[in-house]
C-alpha cells in the first residue's frame, strides 16, 4: 500500500511543477509509504508523477513510478491487484513483456491492451492509480469499485493536482490560502462527512468510487469522472442452500486471493461475526495448504469492560489457535494523540473509533505489514439494526408529517439519559422523507435539529448544505424500488465510502499498515446485490445469510450475541474528564467567531450532556472534531507541526473529582 501524487499542465501557459514542491507533496505522504520514494516527469514536463512506497509485493523490483517497455506509458499506483497473475498471463499471451513480478506492471500493459475502461473493468482489488500516456499526452485517474483506496484532486482550469490524501495537495502553493466548503460544514454535522465528490475544502474533490477520468495535457479540458462499475441490486431466485454454497465458495476464494503478500500479514479481530469469519476461513485455508505458521490476530478494547469486546475476540482466537495480540486503552491514551490523528485524517474525524483503530494498527505494525478486516459486510448483507428499524417507517406513512414528528420526537425526548439508542430510533422514524432518514441514521444532528444548530445568517447562506440534493442524486442512480435495496445502495455510496472506509484507510496508513477488506471485493458485492431480501433482513433478523454461513465456522454464541459495535466511552468522558475541554474549545471566542453555529445551542447541548439530562455524545464529538480540524488546516498551515501546536495550545489538566465531574485548568494532560 502506498501514497501517490501528481500534476498535469492543462494549458500551455501553466508552468511545470516545481521539483521542490513535488518533494513537499510526497513528504506529506511519508506515513503511507515509509519504504521509499520515486518521481518521474514527462520529457515535455507536462506531467509529473510521485510515489511513496510501502513494500508488500516484489520487494526488490517493484519501485514506482513504473513504465512499460518503451517508457511511453507510466503509472503511480496505490493498492493491490489480486488477480494480477491471471491478467499478466493474458497480457503475455498478447505479446507484452514484463520486467517485474509486481502487480503494478499489469496497469501499464493492461492500459495498452484494453484502454482505460477495459483495464478498470478487469481489475479485482483495491486501488487508486494514475496512468500517463506520453503519446496521447493523456492522464487517466481511476479508483476501485467500492472506494477502499482514496484519490483526491484539485484544478483551477490551468493545472490539475491529485494525491492519495488532501494534505499532499495542500503542500502546493496554490492551496496555501485554502477556503472552507461552507455547505460541507452543514452536511458534516448531520452525516459526519461532506458528500462526495465534495470535501470540506472548497475546490478539492474526491474521485468517486467505481469511477475513472481521462484528461489531456494542454487541452483546456475539465476533469469529468465517469462510472465504470456500480452496485446493481436485482434479486434472483436463489434458494438458501444454493446461496450458502455460492457464498461459501466465493468468500473462500476471495480471502485466499487477499493473502497475496511478500511480507507478514494478520487479521483485525473485533470478536464480531465479520472479522471472526475472516479468521475462520483463513484457518481453513491454512490447514488445507498444510501451512505450519499460525494466524496472527490483533484486537483493541477499552479499560471499561462494558465498552470492550476483547473477551469475544479472545474466544475466537483461542478456538482457532491464533497468535493473538491485544491492547487496552483508556482515557489518557485516547486523548493524547487526538491532534496528531486529526492531522492524519485531513477532514474532521467523524468516527471516534478511529482512535483505538490507530492504536491497534500501531501495535500490529510490530508484527505484520498487512491486515485483513471485516468492513463492508454490514452494508452488503444487511447487518445494521437501522435496516430493521427503518422498515417500520412504511407503517407510519398514514400519519400526517407534523403529527408523526411531534409524537415520535416527543416520545424520544422523554427517554432517560441512558436511553440514547431508543431516542435516536424514534427521532429517525419521525422523519417521513427517506432521504432525511438515510442521511440522519447513525449521524450527529439530524435534519430536523440541524437548522436549530446553524447560526441564522449561515443557515440562510447554505440552507441544508445540499444534503437533500446529494442524497436524492445518489438514490436516483439506484435501479431498485425496494426500500431495503435503496437504503443499502445509499449506505454504500455515502457513509461507507466517505466515512467508514476513510477511518480504516487513514488510521491503518498512519501506522504504516495495509488494510484489506475481503467483503468489499466487487465480486462479493455483486453476489450480495442479487441476494433475495429475506436472506439479508427478515423481520427483526439482520444479516441472515451471512450468519447462516457463519454457523459452519463459529460458535453460536459468537454469531447471535447482542451486537455491541466498536463503541468509545465518550458519553462518560464528555460528562466527566472532557467536560472542561468542551467548554474551553467549543465556547471559545475563536470557535464561535466562525459564525457556523448558534452559541446558545452549543451551550445547551454541552450543558444537557454534562448535566446528564440528554446524551449528546455524537453531536459533541462532531463539533469538537470540526474545531480541531479548523485550527490545524484552516487557522494554521495544515502541517504535522500545526497538529503539534494545537496539542500544546490544549494543554489542559482535567482532574476528575469524586463525583466524576471535571475541573479545568492548565497543566499536564496533553504532555503526559
Contact 32/25 with Cβ under 8 angstroms? no
Which residues 6+ apart lie within 8 Å of 215 measured at CB?
8, 10, 138, 139, 160, 221, 222, 223
Q: Which helix (H) or strand (E) holds 488?
A: helix 483-491
Q: Which helix (H) or strand (E) holds 400?
A: none
Q: Residue 2 catalytic?
A: yes
DSSP state of 176: T
As a whole number of angstroms, the distance between CA 271 and CA 274 comes to: 8
C-alpha cell at 427: 427521532
Catalytic residue, from 2, 47, 134, 373: name it: 2
C-alpha cell at 107: 496497469
Q: Which residues of 412-443 are buried (b: 16+ CB within 10 A; e: fewer)?
A: beebeeeebeebbbbbbbbbbebbbbbbbbbb
Residue pointed to by grid coordinates 422523554? 414
Q: How many CA atoms lie within 13 A of 428 on its CB side?
A: 27
Cβ-based burial of 539 (10 A; exposed 0-12, middle 13-18, buried ≥19): exposed
Strands 664-666 and 652-654: antiparallel
Give the distance from CA 343 to its chain's centroid: 15
Contact 162/141 with Cβ under 8 angstroms? yes
As a whole number of angstroms, the distance between CA 594 and CA 372 comes to: 41
Query: Of 206, 174, 163, 219, which is closest to residue 46 (Cα–Cα)?
Result: 219
Residue pointed to by grid coordinates 496554490? 174
As a whole number of angstroms, the distance between CA 633 and CA 167 comes to: 9
> Strand, helix or coil at 341?
helix
Q: Which helix (H) or strand (E) holds 201?
A: none
Contact 104/85 with Cβ under 8 angstroms? no
Contact 611/634 with Cβ under 8 angstroms? no
Three-point CA angle 181, 182, 184, nearest 5°? 70
Give the distance from CA 208 to its chain's centroid: 13
Q: Which helix (H) or strand (E) holds 26?
A: helix 19-27
C-alpha cell at 585: 474549545
135-139 contact pairs (CB < 8 A, 24+)? 135/72, 136/216, 137/42, 137/44, 137/46, 137/47, 137/216, 137/217, 137/218, 138/214, 138/215, 138/216, 138/217, 139/6, 139/8, 139/47, 139/214, 139/215, 139/216, 139/217
Contact 429/408 with Cβ under 8 angstroms? yes
The 3-state secondary structure of 416-435, one letter per residue: CCCCHHHHHHHHHHCCCCHH
Give the distance from CA 34 to its chain's centroid: 21
Q: Which helix (H) or strand (E) holds 549?
A: helix 544-550
Give the residue numbers marked as catalytic: 2
Amino acid at each position: 500500500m502506498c501514497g501517490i501524487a501528481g500534476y498535469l499542465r492543462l494549458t500551455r501557459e501553466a508552468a511545470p511543477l516545481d521539483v521542490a514542491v513535488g518533494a513537499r507533496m510526497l513528504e506529506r505522504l511519508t506515513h503511507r509509504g515509509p519504504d521509499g520514494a520515486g518521481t518521474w516527469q514527462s520529457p515535455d514536463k507536462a506531467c509529473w508523477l510521485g510515489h511513496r512506497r510501502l513494500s508488500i509485493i516484489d520487494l526488490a523490483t517493484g519501485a514506482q513510478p513504473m513504465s512499460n517497455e518503451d517508457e511511453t506509458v507510466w503509472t503511480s499506483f496505490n493498492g493491490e491487484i489480486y488477480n494480477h497473475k491471471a491478467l499478466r498471463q493474458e497480457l503475455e499471451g498478447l505479446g507484452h513483456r514484463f520486467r517485474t513480478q509486481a502487480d503494478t506492471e499489469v496497469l501499464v500493459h493492461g492500459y495498452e491492451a484494453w484502454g482505460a475502461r477495459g483495464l478498470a473493468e478487469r481489475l479485482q482489488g483495491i486501488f487508486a492509480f494514475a496512468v500517463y500516456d506520453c503519446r496521447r499526452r493523456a492522464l487517466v485517474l481511476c479508483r476501485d469499485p467500492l472506494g477502499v483506496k482514496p484519490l483526491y484532486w484539485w484544478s483551477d482550469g490551468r493545472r490539475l493536482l491529485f494525491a492519495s490524501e488532501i494534505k499532499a495537495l495542500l503542500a502546493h502553493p496554490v492551496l496555501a490560502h485554502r477556503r472552507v466548503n461552507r455547505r460541507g460544514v452543514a452536511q458534516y454535522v448531520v452525516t459526519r462527512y461532506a458528500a462526495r465528490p465534495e470535501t470540506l475544502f472548497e475546490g478539492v474533490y474526491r474521485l468517486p468510487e467505481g469511477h475513472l477520468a481521462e484528461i489531456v495535457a494542454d487541452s483546456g479540458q475539465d476533469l469529468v469522472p465517469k462510472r465504470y462499475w456500480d452496485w446493481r441490486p436485482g434479486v434472483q431466485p436463489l434458494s438458501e442452500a444454493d446461496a450458502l454454497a455460492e457464498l461459501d465458495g466465493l468468500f473462500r476464494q476471495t480471502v485466499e486471493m487477499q493473502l497475496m503478500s511478500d511480507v507478514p500479514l494478520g487479521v483485525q479481530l473485533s470478536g464480531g461475526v465479520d472479522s471472526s469469519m475472516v479468521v475462520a476461513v483463513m484457518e481453513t485455508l491454512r490447514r488445507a495448504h498444510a501451512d505450519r505458521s499460525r494466524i496472527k490476530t490483533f484486537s483493541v478494547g477499552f479499560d471499561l469492560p462494558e465498552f470492550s469486546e476483547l473477551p469475544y475476540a479472545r474466544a475466537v482466537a483461542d478456538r482457532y489457535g491464533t497468535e493473538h495480540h491485544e491492547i487496552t486503552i483508556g482515557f489518557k491514551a485516547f486523548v493524547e494523540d487526538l491532534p496528531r490523528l486529526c492531522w492524519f485524517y485531513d477532514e474532521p474525524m467523524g468516527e471516534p473509533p478511529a482512535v483505538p483503530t490507530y492504536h491497534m494498527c500501531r501495535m500490529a505494525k510490530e508484527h505484520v505489514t498487512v491486515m485483513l478486516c471485516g468492513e463492508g459486510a454490514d452494508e452488503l448483507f444487511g447487518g445494521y439494526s437501522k435496516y430493521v428499524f427503518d422498515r417500520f417507517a412504511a407503517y407510519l406513512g398514514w400519519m400526517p408529517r407534523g403529527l408523526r414528528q411531534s409524537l415520535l420526537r416527543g416520545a424520544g425526548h422523554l427517554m432517560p439519559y441512558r436511553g440514547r439508542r431508543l431516542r435516536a430510533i424514534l427521532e429517525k422514524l419521525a422523519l417521513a422523507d427517506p432521504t432525511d432518514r438515510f442521511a440522519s441514521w447513525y449521524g450527529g444532528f439530524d435534519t430536523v435539529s440541524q437548522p436549530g444548530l446553524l447560526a441564522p445568517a449561515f443557515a440562510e447562506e447554505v440552507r441544508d448544505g445540499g444534503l437533500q440534493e446529494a442524497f436524492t442524486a445518489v438514490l436516483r442512480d439506484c435501479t431498485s424500488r425496494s426500500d431495503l435495496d435503496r437504503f443499502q445502495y445509499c449506505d454504500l455510496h455515502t457513509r461507507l465510502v466517505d466515512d467508514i472506509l476513510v477511518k480504516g484507510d487513514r488510521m491503518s496508513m498512519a501506522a504504516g499498515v495495509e488494510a484489506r477488506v475481503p467483503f468489499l471485493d466487487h465480486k462479493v458485492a455483486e453476489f450480495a446485490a442479487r441476494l433475495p431480501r429475506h436472506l439479508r433482513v427478515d423481520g427483526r433478523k439482520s444479516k441472515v445469510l451471512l450468519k447462516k454461513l457463519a454457523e459452519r465456522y463459529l460458535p453460536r454464541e459468537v454469531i447471535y450475541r447482542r451486537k455491541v459495535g466498536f463503541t468509545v466511552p465518550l458519553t462518560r468522558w464528555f460528562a466527566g474528564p472532557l467536560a472542561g475541554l468542551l467548554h474551553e474549545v467549543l465556547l471559545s471566542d475563536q470557535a464561535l467567531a466562525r459564525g457556523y453555529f448558534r452559541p446558545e445551542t452549543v451551550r445547551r447541548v454541552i450543558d444537557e450532556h454534562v448535566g446528564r439530562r440528554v446524551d449528546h455524545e455524537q453531536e459533541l464529538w462532531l463539533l469538537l472534531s470540526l474545531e480541531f480540524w479548523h485550527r490545524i488546516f484552516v487557522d494554521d498551515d495544515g502541517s504535522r507541526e500545526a497538529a503539534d501546536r494545537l496539542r500544546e495550545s490544549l494543554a489542559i489538566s482535567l482532574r476528575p473529582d469524586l463525583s466524576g465531574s471535571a475541573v479545568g485548568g492548565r497543566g499536564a494532560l496533553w504532555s503526559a
